[in-house]
Structure 1
Amino acid sequence: MLVGQRPPLACRPSPPQGGRLRFHQCAAPIADFVCPTHHLIVEIDGSHHGSPEQMADDERRTAHLQSRGYTILRFWNDDVIRDIDGVCQHIVTAAAETEEILQ
């Protein structure tokens, strides 16, 4: 899966407590995917995010979004391609944790 593509069905499971985990795609450069009900943002980064300039931009953007109450998850494109199940499990776990914090 590359930036700009919808997450596969495997990444849209129901969270552990029976709620729905829905992602909404946002216009770049704000975020790749946002789940507003869980205050969760998923960023899927390509290799250009490894440059010092882009890393600094990503840190600023992450700090801004965190200041607005969002949890930010970042995955490399390669991780999504090689281990989609692990990425999805990480997202579901983070959604459950943010749900606990929000209650």
Structure 2
Amino acid sequence: MPRTGTTSPTRRRPRVAPAITAVLAAVIGLVFFVPLWWTVVNSFRPGSETFRYLDPLQWQTFVTLTPTIENYRALLDSDLARAVGNSLLVSLVTVPSVS
């Protein structure tokens, strides 16, 4: 029989899907962010400490206690500018010839 004249309160289902989506997005974000953070932190560590705190993982794995810019000095003292220039030259020569 069809209902006429009586309205029952509609039950709302709990909205679980947005919460699951948010948690999943946070986990995926961490999967991408943690290696980038580890790389940046390690760029400020002395070379002897790079892999020191990996087994087992510790909070020092993601925070350096002895920051140094020595790695960046070594990078600037190297032939980085020449290597970048060579890469740019090869790109500029090969890309227009492909199109």
TM class by smaller structure: under 0.3
Q: In proportion to residue count, which structure has more helix?
A: 2
Q: In proportion to residue count, which structure has more strand?
A: 1
Give the TM-score taking structure 2 as reference length: 0.23
Q: Which structure would you say has the larger Rg?
A: 2
Structure with the bigger RCO (C-alpha within 8 Å, sep 6+) is: 1
Give the TM-score taking structure 1 as reference length: 0.23
